[in-house]
Amino acid sequence: MSPPAPGPLRPRQQGPRAPTEAEQTLKKQWLRTLEADRARLFVTQPFTAALALQMPIVPVLDSRLPTAATDGRRLFFQLRFIEQLTPATRLFVLAHEVWHAVAGHLRRRQERDPELWNLAVDHEVNALLRQDQFELPREAVLFPRRVGDSAEAVYAWLQGQADLKRDLCQFDLHSPGSGDLSPDQADKGIRDPDYSPQVADDALIQQWRQTAVAIANTLMGQGQLPLGLQQWLGRLVQPEVPWQQLLRQFLQRCYGGQRRWLPPARRHISRGLYLPSLRTERLRVTVAIDTSGSTEAYLAVFMSNLCALLRDFDEVALCLIECDAKIHRVRRLTQFDAQALARSDLHGGGGTDLRPPFEHVASTPPDCLVYLSDGLGPAPPQAPPYPVLWVLVGQNAKPPAPWGRVAYLRTPLETR
């Protein structure tokens, strides 16, 4: 008896396939769901929601992505992963990805061990989410004793933990790549053309930080930014030169020793810091802040530095002038106003004219005037009879006048 004729052979898949038409339809359905999730965030977490709105959401079916990821430009979600999540956990994962971009984790790893660094950055992000009133999944990475520490500090701590479990639950991929599939996926995997992450560069990270500062400045004025996030953003834009050192050297040069700086400032001793204090009449400083449209992304930087100035001096009477093309508000402050100042808003947003503050103090000159600006506006042609310190920020900052001393404030990734 002859053997039966063989049946038709099923064609063997050659290489990874693209998502089917039905799977593309499923992706569109999940896109609507994820965008609705993001919209819900505005009710309870407006800061994170405003950040999330800066990136398109991209659902994908791709064997290279097991969970979720971001390249700082888009938010990628693996359908098979998000199908298993509760609505609350989906919100957490979405916010988690956004904060990786804001915190600069896409560029901060350098040569560190990838496994430990992944745990460190997940801890930093999850600690920030908890400060923004998120309810974290029980299995989320968080080391309670290290809350408030940077990813770098947590990484150093993790290196000394011999009994650390490295397989803690993680909800995302920290180094998304758009390369080839692994050998075991080559003939049976899925390659989605929508999954095309790009490499993050320093310019992208800097853009995120400026965006976060601009959004924070708006929400602080509305009382909608938790104090923990204010403090974290303040650390992100710490002054490059400490005010105590900068202003002391500035005044010593201007007054030629007529003012005496005698250590220590008593209120800093408990912190282990022995800083000089001014032991004469109260120092009268006028600070003008350029609140024009061109400095909008830097207003939180200015406020952080202004609070640092107030904290660093025991005896200072500060006149704060908010000015774009005209003066919008004048306030008188002392070091006791630093905390309230960090939560206040700034008025402006128009054109730039650096002259009105000088006109305002002409009849009662201060001991010195500090001007926080990008320098992109007209200044008085002649130097006033008191010392002036231009404190400039931004890649295009330049001294607006041939007189006065100049200092530059750089946000972390700016170079000059």
Residue-wise pLDDT tens digits, 325-364: 999 999 887 665 655 565 567 787 889 999 999 999 999 9
Q: b vs e for 44-53, b when ≥16 Cβ sit within 10 Å of the residue's Cβ?
A: ebbbbbbbbe
CB 120 within 8 A of CB 152: yes
- The two structure tokens encoding residue 156: 């150093």
β-strand partners of 373: 392
Please count the other Cβ atoms lying within 10 Å of the Cβ belonging to residue 410: 18
pTM of the model: 0.57
Kindly state the percentage of the chain with pLDDT values over 90. 30
Residue 406: per-residue pLDDT: 86
Query: In which order are the strands placed within the sheet that holds 68-70?
Result: 57-60, 75-78, 68-70
- The two structure tokens encoding residue 14: 């050659």
pLDDT tens per residue, range 52-104: 999 999 999 998 899 999 999 999 999 999 999 999 999 999 999 999 988 88
Residue 385 pLDDT > 70, yes or no?
A: yes
Q: How confident is the model at residue 378 (pLDDT cuts 50, 70, 90)?
A: very high
Q: Which of 348, 287, 101, 289 is nearest to 210 (CA)?
A: 101
- The alpha carbon of 31 is separated from its chain's Cα centroid by a whole number of angstroms, namely 27
Give CA separation, 204 vs 39, 71, 72, 85, 295, in Å: 24, 10, 7, 30, 18
CB 181 within 8 A of CB 189: yes
Residue spans per domain, the chain: 21-200, 236-409
Residues 6+ apart with CB under 8 A from 329: 320, 321, 322, 347
Q: Can you tell me which residue has the tokens 């992304």?
A: 297
| Distance (Å, whole) CA 286 – CA 316 | 10
3-class state of residue 247 by DSSP: helix
Residue 263: per-residue pLDDT: 43
β-strand partners of 390: 371, 406
Indicate the range of 64-68, 163-167, 185-189, 353-357 predicted with least confidence: 185-189
* Pairing outcome for strands 261-262 and 368-373: unpaired
Q: Can you tell me which residue has the tokens 């992706």?
A: 27
Give CA separation, 83 vs 28, 34, 79, in Å: 14, 11, 6
- The two structure tokens encoding residue 261: 């700086």
Report the CATH fold assignment for 236-409: Rossmann fold (3.40.50)
- The alpha carbon of 326 is separated from its chain's Cα centroid by a whole number of angstroms, namely 29
| Distance (Å, whole) CA 220 – CA 90 | 27
Indicate the range of 72-76, 88-92, 266-270, 319-323 predicted with least confidence: 266-270
pLDDT mean across residues, the chain: 78
Residues 6+ apart with CB under 8 A from 89: 137
User: DSSP H helical segments within 132-190, as ranges?
Assistant: 151-158
